[in-house]
Amino acid sequence: MSSPFNISKPIAIGSDHAGYDHKEELISFLEAKDLPYQDFGTHSKDSVDYPDFAHPVAKAVETGAAAFGILLCGSANGVSITANKHKGVRAALCWGEELAKLSREHNDANIICIPARFVSEGDAEKMVAVFMATEFEGGRHQGRVQKITDGC
């Protein structure tokens, strides 16, 4: 099966225990779309610390080893805060398709952070599909995104 998405590098994916089921469903979704991915864990529902999985995903995006990242935890706040510590990472907390689209169009987000306790697995798949298919608009948004890095 050929992918409808123009993605050549792997997609970095990771979650803590609260996002584990969603992560596994999203991996099945990526496989069905014939998309390459790297699973940074967790690999069970045992309690773990979200930074242990958010940092490797963000590092893969930061270094260009991954096309983009997907992170999940209960609220998505923890993984988003952690990922955004990495240079060049723009991790966006999204709980709907419109936010996923706008995070790419307006903010050039390169990691989608999904709150597993507040989003169904099916909706998570839809958000990831929208995130992958949406391009950054640039234009009036380019300067704003540049100020994210310049302000440091």
**Mode of pairing for the β-strands spanning 111-115 and 91-93:** parallel
The pLDDT score that the predictor gives to residue 148 is 87
Establish whether 106 is a catalytic residue. yes
Contacts of 109 (CB under 8 A, 6+ apart): 90, 91, 92, 103, 131
Identify the CATH number of the domain defined by range 11-150. 3.40.1400.10
Contacts of 37 (CB under 8 A, 6+ apart): 10, 11, 12, 13, 27, 30, 31
Q: How confident is the model at residue 4 (pLDDT cuts 50, 70, 90)?
A: low
Catalytic residue among 22, 73, 94, 113: 73
Q: What would the pLDDT profile of 112-130 be if each residue is shown by its tens digit?
A: 999 999 999 999 999 999 9
How far is Cα 151 from Cα 3, in angstroms, rounded to an integer? 37
Q: Could you state, in order of their start, the residue ranges of all structural domains in the chain?
A: 11-150
The pLDDT mean for the chain works out to 94
How far is Cα 94 from Cα 102, in angstroms, rounded to an integer? 10
